[in-house]
Amino acid sequence: MKNNLISLKEDPIKLFAKWFKEAKNKEINDPNAMNLSTVSENNKPSSRIVLLKSYSDQGFIFYTNTLSKKGKSLSKNKFVALNFYWKTLKKQIRIEGKTLKVNNKTADEYFYSRPIESQIGAWASIQSNKLKNRLELENRFKNYEIKFKYKKVIRPTHWSGYIVVPNLIEFWQEMPHRLHDRVEFKKVKLMWKARNLFP
């Protein structure tokens, strides 16, 4: 059992890359799915599944409508928590950190890498607002399809990306007898400090 334990000497970003690669090879659906938890200005938590689109030593990037419920929460409280859980691997990773908006160039690059229908969908959906019925959404989509039929779709100013700059990354893996292996990496003065946690 000891041979499989997480080393305190690991670089957490490199370890994330290793586990994420495993997940992409073994998870059936959306290995990049992660739970994003935000806290509103009145201190109410909210969570939802979003997709990780890229990551680096700087942080973890996802994209969304900035006027959505999560976007409004992030405008008031930039601190979030992420959670990846890969059932087939029996592993999870928790990440805590602060969000920053990505620059326009980065947002544009990802926006224009999406299928044209998804680009139009970013205009059609007034995310998190009340929808009368499905027809209302479909009509909005059709209207924007017509609008952009003969010209390039412009990225909406309210659609962008956020990078979660981590200050804490915890790795968890299932072990026999529920004696799970947990290692927490915490950023202290720009350096990662690791410690084991009781399961």
Q: Which of 114, 178, 182, 195 is catalytic?
A: 178
Strand-strand pairing, 45-51 and 91-101: unpaired
Q: How far is CA 112 from CA 14, 32, 66, 148, 160, in A?
A: 29, 20, 17, 14, 12
Residue of 167, 165, 166, 162 lying closest to 73 (CA atoms)? 162
What distance in Å separates the CA atoms of residue 199 and residue 141, rounded to the nearest whole number?
48
Query: Do 160 and 63 contact (CB within 8 A), yes or no?
Result: yes
48 is annotated as an active-site residue: no
Q: Look up residue 166 and give its amino acid.
A: P
Task: Tokens for 177, please give them.
Answer: 């007898």
- Kindly calculate the radius of gyration of the chain based on its CA atoms and give it in whole angstroms: 19
- SS3 per-residue string spanning 40-96: CCCCCEEEEEEECCEEECCEEEEEEECCCHHHHHHHHCCEEEEEEEECCCCEEEEEE
Q: Look up residue 77 and give its amino acid.
A: N
Active site residue ranges: 178
